[in-house]
């Protein structure tokens, strides 16, 4: 590649400050250095002078510069013999992560033919921020993981070299997670998130953290990745009833299928870990089993057989709510069902003793019969009053509660 065009005039003093001095090697080679991304026209070196050529002889001797594969990155002004930056030099594009980076120039003059070799070292500037493989990283952690558990993280990469690519990491201050980095700069796999305290999905289901990588350049550049941490549920909560004891009443003549109570238990866990099945706690008494049925899904207890206050006045039903977790957990309560009496029994009359026939001269007050009455109902439903057909020569005398004599 030939460089014949004339360059711009004298470089500014400011740019000169940035540049390093040129020197000659014993073999006649000349070295310069230039910062990558230097502006067009930036002074690199007095190439003609450093090669021992007179400015006046540059054109007559067909002074030309060739640079294999590096195009017109650098150019020489034939008026003043100065090598300057012509187009954008990107060290990362030229040399990648290689620590050494230079542009080799071949300077040729005729009459007599001479060839000079010039090395222009391209110096790194911190022009690349650390870059993470993804902008968002999803991490799923079961809430049961103990503190000190480590979760590996992918580190960032930085296209620069040296301190410009030496990365340090930090994560948002957070009570649950800390960052652990090994001091080996290139070993990104040593980066991990460490659990500091026990998790609880029932309190916080998702943690959102920002992981930041900072390089060692001046000024430093940073890159970030969002860590979206989802906490997976573990079955660590048992179903709980609203109350430990429920008291309800049912009329003894309630129809088959009458709703006695709708129980409600809650489970703080997620999905099947929080799905509840209701049942009578085993062993279930035959009396309960005979009289009631429980809906496993709704928690409704309904009557099934015929209730009879006179048979059983109070049922004690232990109930269990079990979740569908892998290792199920259960909660308990007891339902007391009081059966209310209905006046469904007629009084019964029993004659316990009878002296018949009665003599016509029997004295007034002679006991003819002992009668007892009973009613299986309770309260007023069971209170019996006895009376006799009017206008007969007999009298009913109450001797004791529900006992009479005639």
Residues that bind Ca ion (CB under 5 A): 124, 126-128, 158, 160, 164, 215, 233, 235-237, 267, 269, 273, 323
Please give the Cα distance from 293 to 131 (Å, whole number). Answer: 64
- 67 contacts 74 by C-beta, under 8 angstroms: yes
DSSP, residue by residue, 335-387:
EEEEEEP-S----EEEEEEE--SPPTTPPTT---EEEEEE-SS-GGGG-----
- Run of H or E residues at 289: helix 286-291
Q: Smallest gap, in angstroms, from Cβ of residue 227 to Ca ion?
A: 22
Instruction: Report the residue number, 120 or 288, with the smaller CB distance to Ca ion.
Output: 120
Cα dist from 306 to 76, 179, 251, whole Å = 112, 68, 11
Please give the Cα distance from 302 to 354 (Å, whole number). Answer: 49
Cα dist from 314 to 5, 109, 250, whole Å = 112, 120, 10
Instruction: Report the residue number, 236 or 310, with the smaller CB distance to Ca ion.
Output: 236
Q: Smallest gap, in angstroms, from Cβ of residue 329 to Ca ion?
A: 5
Q: Smallest gap, in angstroms, from Cβ of residue 198 to Ca ion?
A: 12
- 172 contacts 134 by C-beta, under 8 angstroms: no
- How remote is the C-alpha of 374 from its chain's centroid? 70
- Tell me which residue of 104, 98, 54, 44 sits closest to 75, measured CA to CA: 44
Instruction: Report the residue number, 50 or 160, with the smaller CB distance to Ca ion.
Output: 160
Instruction: Report the residue number, 48 or 213, with the smaller CB distance to Ca ion.
Output: 213
Q: Smallest gap, in angstroms, from Cβ of residue 246 to Ca ion?
A: 21
- Tell me which residue of 264, 281, 345 sits closest to 319, measured CA to CA: 281
Maximum separation of any 2 CA atoms in the chain, in Å: 181
Residues facing residue 398 across a β-bridge: 404
- 260 contacts 250 by C-beta, under 8 angstroms: yes
Q: Smallest gap, in angstroms, from Cβ of residue 216 to Ca ion?
A: 8
Instruction: Report the residue number, 273 or 303, with the smaller CB distance to Ca ion.
Output: 273
Instruction: Report the residue number, 75 or 267, with the smaller CB distance to Ca ion.
Output: 267
- Tell me which residue of 274, 276, 303, 279 sits closest to 291, measured CA to CA: 303
Instruction: Report the residue number, 267 or 341, with the smaller CB distance to Ca ion.
Output: 267
Q: Smallest gap, in angstroms, from Cβ of residue 167 to Ca ion?
A: 8
Instruction: Report the residue number, 77 or 237, with the smaller CB distance to Ca ion.
Output: 237
What length does the chain have? 406
Instruction: Report the residue number, 41 or 129, with the smaller CB distance to Ca ion.
Output: 129
Q: Smallest gap, in angstroms, from Cβ of residue 62 to Ca ion?
A: 36
Q: Smallest gap, in angstroms, from Cβ of residue 156 to Ca ion?
A: 10
- Tell me which residue of 92, 119, 104 sits closest to 37, measured CA to CA: 92
- 246 contacts 273 by C-beta, under 8 angstroms: no
Q: Smallest gap, in angstroms, from Cβ of residue 265 to Ca ion?
A: 10
């Amino acid at each position: 590649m030939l460089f014949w065009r004339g360059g711009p005039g004298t470089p500014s003093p400011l740019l000169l400050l940035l540049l390093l001095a040129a020197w000659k090697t014993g073999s006649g080679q000349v070295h310069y250095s230039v910062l990558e991304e230097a502006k067009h026209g930036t002074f690199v070196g007095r190439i003609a002078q450093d090669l021992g050529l007179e400015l006046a002889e540059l054109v007559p001797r067909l002074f030309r510069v060739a640079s294999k594969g590096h195009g017109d990155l650098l150019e020489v002004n034939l008026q003043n013999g100065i090598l300057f930056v012509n187009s954008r030099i990107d060290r990362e594009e030229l040399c990648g992560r290689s620590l050494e980076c230079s542009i080799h120039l071949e300077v040729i003059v005729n009459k007599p033919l001479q060839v000079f070799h010039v090395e222009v070292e391209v110096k790194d500037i911190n022009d690349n921020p650390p870059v993470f493989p993804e902008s968002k990283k999803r991490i799923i952690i079961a809430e049961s993981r103990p503190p000190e558990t480590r979760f590996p993280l992918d580190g960032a990469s930085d296209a620069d070299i040296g301190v410009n690519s030496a990365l340090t990491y930090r994560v948002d201050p957070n009570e649950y997670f800390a960052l652990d980095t090994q001091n080996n700069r290139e070993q990104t796999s040593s980066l991990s998130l460490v659990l500091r305290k026990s998790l609880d999905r029932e309190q916080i289901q998702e943690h959102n953290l920002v992981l930041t990588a900072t390089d060692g350049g001046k000024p430093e550049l940073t890159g970030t990745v969002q860590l979206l941490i989802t906490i997976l549920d573990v079955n660590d909560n048992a179903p709980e009833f609203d109350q430990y004891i429920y008291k309800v009443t049912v009329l003894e003549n309630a129809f088959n299928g009458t709703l006695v109570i709708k129980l409600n238990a809650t489970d703080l866990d997620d999905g099947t870990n929080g799905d509840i099945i209701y049942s009578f706690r085993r062993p279930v008494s035959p009396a309960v089993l005979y009289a009631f049925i429980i809906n496993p899904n709704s928690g409704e207890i309904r009557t099934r057989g015929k209730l009879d206050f006179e048979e059983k006045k109070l049922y004690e039903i232990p109930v269990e709510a079990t979740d569908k977790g892998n290792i199920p957990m259960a909660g308990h309560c007891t339902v007391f069902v009081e059966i209310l009496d209905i006046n469904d029994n007629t009084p019964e009359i029993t004659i316990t003793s009878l002296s018949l026939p009665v003599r016509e001269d029997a004295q007034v007050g002679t006991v003819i019969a002992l009668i007892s009455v009973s009613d299986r109902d309770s309260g007023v439903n069971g209170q019996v009053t006895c009376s006799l057909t009017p206008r007969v020569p007999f009298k009913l005398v109450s001797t004791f509660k529900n006992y009479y004599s005639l």
